[in-house]
Structure 1
Amino acid sequence: MKGRFFWVALGLIGVSWVVNSMYAYSKQLDEPIFLDHYIDMVYQDHYYMTFYYLTNKNDTSSIVSMNAGDSRAYPTEQSYGWNGVDRIDNRQTFNHYVLRSVNVEFYNPYGDRLEDSFTEMDVVFSDGRVVTAPIGRIMTHPSTIDTRPLEHTSSGSSSDNTGQNYYRTLEPLTIEAVEYSFQDDLQDDLSIKLHTLKGQLKSKATEAAFSDLMDSEWNDLPGTDLENVIFPFHLKENDRISIHSKLPTTSTKVLNVTIYISGTTESGTDFTTTSGIITQPYLEKQDVAELIEAKTRGDTDE
């Protein structure tokens, strides 16, 4: 009788192992899934980016190169270990998957081409796979000369995906537009408020008023939603302007977005002042499931 129970128990263990193995196999991704990146970069001979992707927990491959049109990207030195071997950078680990990042350096063999935009890349892995991956949208453009009639005085960010940038006017000027890169792509995700404050440079009340905004909840922040701002508007010397940005806390997008503040000084000089919004991903299990569902339309029970 004991022998019979032994074989029954052994059989149940075997069946359980087969079922678990089949379940784990069913959760495997056919290929890595890249998060949506919205990156706006000033073109140089070469420039650097960090990409994030989900892959299977048992995936031992690393990225060898990333190609888009004539642009080529290769892992930087920091993507290798002390012995020169590819380093796998796992940012987060889940039941069946890992979130990885890779730092790459882009090269453009055609130095006279200063603008580019692409939404997918051919990614070559060390195991020989070549994956054409949607990556969001990457833009590169030439640098613009900034005459700086707006002085960037401070900035801040918090864990709830809010950010602030504060400016002081160095001379009277007119703000004619405030825009940001990927505005069409991100208008349903990214909220921006503008707030102006009159005051002299040495006014402690003015400094304190702006400082207090750093810890405010989004709904408590003064200002006008960008889509409701009436342009143009005039600012005097030593007036202040703040630009607040917010992404949903559930956002899984990787951002390096440029905000462009453009206008004309009282002396008639056109200007464009820029600031940035940079976010890095932190995923919850539900985020992983939704990302896989959106990218593969498959079962995602994490």
Structure 2
Amino acid sequence: MKKHWPWIFSLLLIASWGGNVWYYESQKLEKPIYLEHYYEISTDLLSHMSIYFITNRDSEREPYQFRVNDDIVLNVAQVRTRDERGRLQLREAAVMPVSDQIFRNLENSLRFEQATVYYSDGLVDTVSLGEIIVHPRSQSEYDLEFSFSSSSSNGTGRWGSTVQEDITVASVTHSFPELLSDSIDILVNGKSYVDTTAFPLTLNKGDPLGGSYIFQLDNEDVRRFHAYQLMITMKDEQGHIINVQYINEQPQLYDEHLRSYVRLRKGGEREL
């Protein structure tokens, strides 16, 4: 039996080496994988937008520009690493418009789902980004005295203001309700935004107008891995926007989920 041990050891060594090679190759990305982004913002926030992607840790390929069309071009101001696992990295590209001329004159909202990406090594690729909506700069029909606004990394936030004239809040909505209506709870002056008996809400000059939100997704919910910039809008009876608040949620895609997320995006089995 002892004379067979060298062969057995060699076979185990080859199997182990083969397993390591398979694991390494299973994480190899030919090009970056972009997360899904659900953004609804005004033009003045476009220069504060981040785009997230997964790439290999040893890759020197970085995006330097996203081109939506001939008029909308976003330069990458900075790329930083958010998390990593094995050979994979989650990276964040902070972008800003090459020119804001088109946005200063924007009359109607823009919507785009993909962009052409230009990389440092010469690669040009068209990628899906999710759904991004850009509105003209918000023009409130009413004068509100701003008081405070705050948010937390646990998906909660609050804000407050004082109305400067009599107003009526007819409705409260948030971005992408078809995707997120079961995950957001919004209170306005202590009333739930889905409480049909609470609206219209009539306020007199000098009354407070404030609210809070909770935006949370279960640990097993793959929507946690998307990036969000959501608008909470309060409208009057004529549909004019009275107030706008924003929810900014970075993807909750941590190191232990990177390999599983890549498998999921490649069409493999879910392992989250």
Q: In the alignment, does 2:63 pair up with 1:63? A: yes
Contact 1:149 1:271 in 2 (8 A): no
Out of 245, 260, 267, the position equivalent to 2:213 is 245
Q: Radius of gyration: which is bigger? A: 1
Distance 1:253 1:168 in 2: 34
Deviation at 1:177, TM superposition (A): 2.1
Structure 2 residue matching 1:136: 3-state secondary structure: strand
Match of 2:15, as an amino acid? V
Distance 1:190 1:163 in 2: 11
Figure out how many residues of one structure are paired with residues of the other and give that number.
260
For each residue in 1:239-288, what CA deviation from the matched residue of structure 2 results, as whole angstroms up to 9, or x when unmatched? 33332222224422322222222227xxx9x6622221112223235643
Deviation at 1:143, TM superposition (A): 1.3
When residues 113 and 146 of structure 1 are mapped into structure 2, their CA distance, relative to the original with a 3 A threshold, is closer
Moved more, 169-178 or 183-192: 183-192
When residues 289 and 161 of structure 1 are mapped into structure 2, their CA distance, relative to the original with a 3 A threshold, is farther
Out of 284, 288, 296, the position equivalent to 2:266 is 296
Distance 1:101 1:21 in 2: 28
Out of 89, 92, 96, the position equivalent to 1:105 is 96
Unaligned stretches of 5+ in structure 1?
80-87, 197-222
In the other structure, the counterpart of 1:39 is 39
Moved more, 285-294 or 11-20: 285-294
Distance 1:9 1:94 in 2: 30
Distance 2:50 2:163 in 1: 34
Distance 2:271 2:203 in 1: 54
Contact 1:178 1:262 in 2 (8 A): yes
In the other structure, the counterpart of 2:28 is 28
Deviation at 1:3, TM superposition (A): 9.7
Unaligned stretches of 5+ in structure 2?
none
In the other structure, the counterpart of 2:83 is 92
Match of 1:135, as an amino acid? L
In the other structure, the counterpart of 1:73 is 74
For each residue in 1:82-113, what CA deviation from the matched residue of structure 2 results, as whole angstroms up to 9, or x when unmatched? xxxxxx52110113421101112223697355
For each residue in 1:146-199, what CA deviation from the matched residue of structure 2 results, as whole angstroms up to 9, or x when unmatched? 354433322222332111122333333211222233333432433322234xxx
In the other structure, the counterpart of 1:273 is 243
Distance 1:163 1:276 in 2: 9
Contact 1:289 1:300 in 2 (8 A): no
Distance 1:263 1:116 in 2: 23
In the other structure, the counterpart of 2:52 is 52
% identical aligned pairs = 23
Match of 1:292, as an amino acid? V
Structure 2 residue matching 1:91: 3-state secondary structure: strand
Distance 2:117 2:179 in 1: 23
When residues 300 and 56 of structure 1 are mapped into structure 2, their CA distance, relative to the original with a 3 A threshold, is farther
Structure 2 residue matching 1:283: 3-state secondary structure: coil
Distance 1:119 1:22 in 2: 34
Q: How does 1:141-152 map onto structure 2 within 5 Å? A: 141-152=135-146
In the other structure, the counterpart of 2:184 is 190
When residues 109 and 282 of structure 1 are mapped into structure 2, their CA distance, relative to the original with a 3 A threshold, is closer
Match of 1:107, as an amino acid? V
Deviation at 1:12, TM superposition (A): 3.4
Structure 1 residue matching 2:23: 3-state secondary structure: helix
Deviation at 1:63, TM superposition (A): 0.7
When residues 246 and 11 of structure 1 are mapped into structure 2, their CA distance, relative to the original with a 3 A threshold, is same
- TM-score of the superposed pair, with normalisation by structure 1: 0.72
In the other structure, the counterpart of 1:12 is 12
Distance 1:290 1:135 in 2: 19
Distance 1:291 1:188 in 2: 23
Distance 1:163 1:189 in 2: 14
